[in-house]
Structures are given as structure tokens and as C-alpha cells.
Structure 1
Amino acid sequence: MKKNYRWGIMGAGKIADKFCTALMATEGAEVYAVASRDMGKAKDYAVRYNAVATYNNYEDLIKDQNVDIIYIATPHSFHHEQTLLCLQHNKPVLCEKPMSLSTKQTTEMIAAAAEKKLFLMEGMWTACMPFMEKILSLIKEDAIGQPQYIHADFGFTAPFDPAGRLFKKALGGGSVLDVGIYPIFLATIIFGKPSLIQSVSKLTTTGVDEYANMVLQYPGGQTAHLLSSISFNTALEAEIIGTKGRIKIDNPCFKATDFTLILNDSTSEHFSMPHQSNGFEHQIKEVMHCLDNGLLQSSKVPHQLTITVSKIMEEVLKQAGVVY
């Protein structure tokens, strides 16, 4: 591994705070520079995470020659423009999920990275966690037979704020893009591309989806029942059911440490895989592994997976009457 990767952090909100906490706990990584339109926030991050440089605009961060890779932690609606700007200045990018507001934008971002021969990855941290790697291994080993059905949910109660990120359409608000992406990712990594998508949603007065109740069917007849919400709490659990048994992922299923393998004969095995930090460290290590080996994309979050998930979200939103 390269002795040290100097990360540039674009945005200084809650998600960047969690990411920087994990960076501090990850060997070979440092919070080198932070950019925020609020200089006070940038300076606060610099103090807490020992950053060398702070910027009150994103362009100066991108032009900093000492920055090895940029983590984009701004609202969804800015990801497309900011990623393209990073790539134009030859900076590899880890872009927080969702990659963008549309499949068209996501495809453009991936194409730009390929043209520049630069690393680009969507920040789907779940894909990099040990529990997910173990579950995929168990399925490959035929532990539950052929997977047939998945149900997964991610819902929480957010105070209604028409100007806030979750409810403002101009910022890419709504449940699907913010949290629905997690159950959709799980179904996609197991079953692939669906042949049928049916969804029922409720919209807020600001025109974004308050919840989405999704049923997906796949070419082999498998089905997934997925739910996302920003107006009510859900169990935050998931289950993958196969012909020989099932895997139950405990709360919180999007960053789980525990899951149980339950076979049809009622025998079971519990797995526990605690995070060393807050879970973001696995994603950070995966990015640095890719950079070490000159990879342009991660095998855990390949570009095709990002595109497939984007297409599913776009169809669900289209059925709800939401177009960004």
C-alpha cells in the first residue's frame, strides 16, 4: 500500500463527519483538505481531523496538487457536476451515493472517468462491509440453495422541512435516492437486473417521494419486496430466502454487524462481524486497494452495478411521477 493517501473532503455535513472519523482510524489515510462553502465548518473539520488545508470553495480543493483522491459528500444534485470537475483535473473520486439524479448523469460520469483513465466509485459502503462479503460467499457456496425472495426496508421519520435536503426536489430529495438505494442495492447484488418493476409511492407537498413500496421480479422468477420511507420508521431488517434456507440480516441491515443463517431443518448459525470504526473504514480500504493496484473501478461496487441500481431507482420514481 502507498504509505499515505491524502484525502480531500468536498462538503462538511453529517455524512462527511462520519467519513472523516473512519479516515482517522484507517491506516494509510489522512484527512488532508476540507472544502465547504461555509468556511467555519471547514475550519472546524480541520481542527477535529487534523486537516492541513481548508477551502471555502470546491474548485480550490480540486486544484490542490497534494490531494490524492476526493470524497464528494455534498447533496445528490451536485454530484454530477462536481465529479466531472474533479475528473477534468485528474482527481480520482469516491462519490457518495447516489451517484447522481439520473442514469444519464451517472453514465456520463462513468464515461468521463474511463476516458481520463481515473478511478471512480459510488459510495455504497454496504458493499464493502465484511457481513456482505460473507453473505455473498454463503450464497455462492449454496448454503441457502437458490435465492428466491428478498425483502428489505429502510425507513425513518424525518421532520418535514420544505427547504431541507430530504424534502427539496432541487437537492434530490425523497426516500428512494436517500435510503431506498440500500434495499435496491441488496436485491441487485443478489438477483441482478429485474424484468418487472412495480411501485406504489406517496409524494410530499414538495413533489418528492415520501415512501416507495416496490416489488421487483427477475427473469428466473425470483422476487424482491422493498420499502423506503422518510415519513415513518421501519424495522431496518432484510431477509434473503432460498430453497434450502434463509439469511436474516439484523438491524441496521445497511451497516450490519450481525446476521443469522437459518436452514430448512431449523438449524442455525449466527455471525457477528463488528466494525473497527463506524463502518466507513471498509469502503476507504477498498478505495485505497483499488488505487494501489491501478484499478479504475471496484469489483465490490462495479460501474455496471451502479448503473443498474440507477435505472431501477429511475423507474420507481417515474412510476411515482417524480422526474429530476
Structure 2
Amino acid sequence: MKKTYNWAVLGCGKIARKFSNDLKLLSNARLYAAASRDLKKAEQFAEELGFENAYGSYEEMVSDPNVDVVYVATPHSHHYEHTMLCLNNKKAVLCEKAFAINKREAEEMIACAQKNNTFLMEAFWTMFQPSFRKAMEIIQSGELGKLKIVRSDFAFNAPYDLEKRLYNISLGGGSLLDIGIYPVFAALTSLGKPEKIKTFADFSPTGSEETVNMIFKYKDGEMASLTSSFAGFSPTQTEYLCEKGYLILNARWFVPTHITVWKAGGEMETFPSEHKEGTGYQYEAAHVMECLDAGKIESDKMTWQMSLDLIETLDRVRIDAGIFFPEHDKKMFF
């Protein structure tokens, strides 16, 4: 019989609401606690989603001995602080992406997990989507030949608003860490870390980058062309161009979607999504509990090294593009 885990949500925003709804699909997940710095907000969230308890401080929540695992869903500017709080109280952590603001923070988070022998994973839900895993299986099988080019985008129109997190530098605002992380992830999971990076960025009046175009070049000639933007809409798809054909993760490729495959000399083939219910957050949550069942403190799918490679690449993009977060980057050796 599976152990039932008491889940707590740290931060009661939009993504926490989606995650919590999907958590209900898992029989071994118990919606135990919701925490916000505003008790009323936590109570409303808990009542709406069905959590048993509400806390008006994160410190109070991590002090509850019944909390098994915490989903950190605050802005990424606060992921380091809140993850460290949980780990130092021996609470397993699933931390929303971007994992941290920079590599230094991520390294300290991982070191803290090791010191406290406590589970930690970046909540990169795409890694666990059936369609993404099917695409990786096809690419890695070699049936399309060697992968040569990755093209990936994520863009939507986000009207400029000083009050919005997306444009707030102190909260890590800008398209790169919010949505550009997805195209970068697409390149890393298929081609690895690039040898060279070239970027172009356009900035909003707050200093946050609105649009980023990235070119990754690899030692054997492979390339990736990646885009993130709040300025306009894109198909939001990822294309893997290979020597003997191509594969497309179709619109909204980072969530459960369908796959198109074409082999030279053949007909186009479509693989429908195997996803049946929910938004798709349940897959990563289920994996976390599998890891906890096995006594692991690190995932074997979304590894710490993958998170470090991802944040290191994002740091390289930021340095090349001139994207800085003064409140956090003073720790970095730029």
C-alpha cells in the first residue's frame, strides 16, 4: 500500500492553484496545508482547493511536523530563500522553475539538501509530460538520424504594466526566466550545453528584458535557435531537425500535446497526446512521491546536474545579453 504524503503549498498564486487541482488526481497525495504571508489569502485558497490547513506565515507552515513535502510556488526571486527555509526544516521540496536566480543560489540550495539529507527537485513539469518523453525517445533512437538543429519559441503578448511581476526586476521579471527557460530546456535536453552563445535582447522601461533571441552553437556544428518574448504571440512549438527527417512538438509544446514526425521519403505521422485528465502537473508530483518512497533525495529524471546546467546556461545568456538582477547578482562573479 502506497504511503500518503501530506503536501503543502508555499505561495498561493495562479500556478499553485493549477498544481493543487492536479494533485487531487493522485490517490497518495493529501492536500494538507496552504501558506501565504497573508492569512486571509491562505484561508481562501485552502477553502477553494480543499486544503485542510492554512498558515499566514511560511515559518509556521514548515514548523508543522505533519508536512511531508512542500511545493514552492513563489516568484523565482524568492525560490532560494523559501527552499532553504524548507530544507533546513527537513521538508522535501519541489521548487517551481526557474530553480533560482543564478547558479550560485542553485548550488547553495543543492548543498543544503545534501547537508540535511532532504529531497529537492526543480519543478520542470515538461520533463515528465508523456509527449515530451515520447519525443526524446524518438530523437534518441536515431531513427531520424543525427539531430542538427533545434528551433524553439515561447511568446505571448503581455501588455506593459509596472505592477506585474513579469516586468518587475526585483522579482526576477523578464521573459527569459519566466518563459525563455523552456526553449533553453529544449536545447539542453537534446543537444546538451552549447559551446558558444549569442543573444539579442530588447528591454522594457523597467529594465526587464521583453524579448530575447538566442543562438546556441555546438562543437560538432549543431545549432539551436531560441526565442522568448512578451511582445507578441508565437506558435510556441519546438522543432527538431535531423539528418533523415524532423520532429515537431506542436503548439504549447511544454504541456501535453501531439507530436508530428516526418521521415525523408515517407509520409507525415502524428502521435496524439496520451494525456487524459488535468493540466499535467500531476506527473512531476507523482515522480516526487516515487522518489520519496524509494528514500531518494535527488530525482533520477530531473537531476540536480540538469538544474545546474540549465541555470548556468541561463546565466551565460544573461551575461551576453546584459540582463542583470542587482539584488541577487551581487553574489555572482560577473
Same fold (TM over 0.5): yes
Partner residue of 1:152?
152
Residues 246-265 of structure 1: matches in 2 within 5 Å? 246-265=246-265
Structure 1 residue aligned with 2:113: 113
1:180-199 to 2 correspondences below 5 Å? 180-199=180-199
| Counterpart in the other structure of 1:17 | 17
Distance 1:219 1:298 in 2: 29
CA distance in 2, matches of 1:275, 1:224: 31
1:83 equivalenced with 2:86 (yes/no): no
Does residue 1:299 correspond to 2:294, yes or no?
Answer: no
Amino acid at match of 1:18: K
What SS is found at the alignment partner of 1:270? strand
CA displacement, residues 155-206 of structure 1 (integer Å, 9 cap, x when unaligned): 1111212232100100000000000000100110001111000000001111
Task: For 1:163-202, list aligned pairs within 5 A.
Answer: 163-202=163-202
Partner of 1:256, secondary structure, is coil
What TM-score results when the alignment is normalised by the length of structure 2?
0.94
Q: What is the identity, as a one-letter code, of the residue corresponding to 2:68?
A: D
SS at match of 1:224: strand
Give the number of aligned pairs.
Answer: 324
Deviations 1:45-87 (A, max 9, x none): 2112221110111111111111110000001111001111111
Q: Structure 1, residues 118-159: CA drift from partner, whole Å, max 9, x if none? A: 111111000011111111111222121111100000011112
Does the 8 Å contact 1:249/1:256 carry over to 2?
no
Mark the runs of 5 or more structure 2 residues left unpaired by the alignment.
Answer: 326-334
SS in structure 2 of the partner of residue 27 of structure 1: coil
Of residues 290-299 and 93-102 in structure 1, the stretch that sits farther from structure 2 once superposed is 290-299
User: Which AA in structure 2 matches 1:317?
Assistant: R
Aligned equivalents of 2:298, 2:189: Cα separation in 1: 16
**Does the 8 Å contact 1:239/1:248 carry over to 2?**
yes
Residue matched to 1:71: 71
Corresponding residue number in structure 2 for 1:225? 225
Whole-angstrom distance in 2 between the partners of 1:36 and 1:275: 31
Output the amino acid matched with 2:301: K
Paired with 1:120 and 1:180, the residues of 2 have a C-alpha distance of 23
Aligned positions of 1:257-296 closer than 5 A: 257-273=257-273, 274-296=275-297
Kindly report structure 1 stretches of 4+ aligned residues shifted beyond 4 Å. none
Local SS of the residue matching 1:112: helix
* Partner SS for 2:254: helix
Partner SS for 2:101: coil
Give the partner amino acid of 2:278.
S
* Gap regions ≥5 residues in structure 1: none
CA distance in 2, matches of 1:112, 1:2: 28
TM-score (norm 1): 0.97
- Output one character per residue of 1:29-56: Cα deviation in whole Å (capped at 9) or x when no partner: 1210000122222112211222111011
Partner of 1:94: helix, strand, or coil? strand
- What are the within-5 Å matches in structure 2 for residues 303-314 of structure 1? 303-314=304-315
Q: Distance in 2 between matches of 1:47 and 1:319?
A: 46
Contact 2:17 2:49 in 1 (8 A): no
Provide the aligned C-alpha RMSD in A. 1.2
Confirm or deny: 8 A CA contact 1:24 1:49 kept in the other structure: no
> In the alignment, is the contact (CA less than 8 A) between 1:250 and 1:256 conserved in 2?
no
Deviations 1:259-318 (A, max 9, x none): 111111132321112242111011111111111111222222111111111111112112
Distance 2:16 2:199 in 1: 32
The one-letter amino acid paired with 2:252 is P
Counterpart CA distance in 2 for 1:21 and 1:271 is 27
- In the aligned structure 2, how far is the partner of 1:87 from the partner of 1:66? 15
CA distance in 1 between partners of 2:56 and 2:288 (Å): 26
Give me the whole-angstrom Cα distance separating, in 1, the residues matched to 2:292 and 2:266: 44
Structure 1: distance between partners of 2:323 and 2:128:
30
Deviations 1:236-279 (A, max 9, x none): 11100111111111111111320111111132321112242111
Q: Residue 92 in 1 paired to residue 122 in 2?
A: no
CA offset at residue 101 of structure 1?
A: 0.6
Secondary structure in 2 matching 1:253: coil
Q: For residues 27-38 of structure 1, what are the structure 2 equivalents within 5 Å? A: 27-38=27-38
Give the equivalent residue in structure 1 for 2:323.
Answer: 322
Q: What is the CA deviation profile of residues 192-237 of structure 1, one whole-angstrom value per residue up to 9, with x for unaligned ones?
A: 1110000000011111110100000112221000000112111111
Q: Percent identity?
A: 37
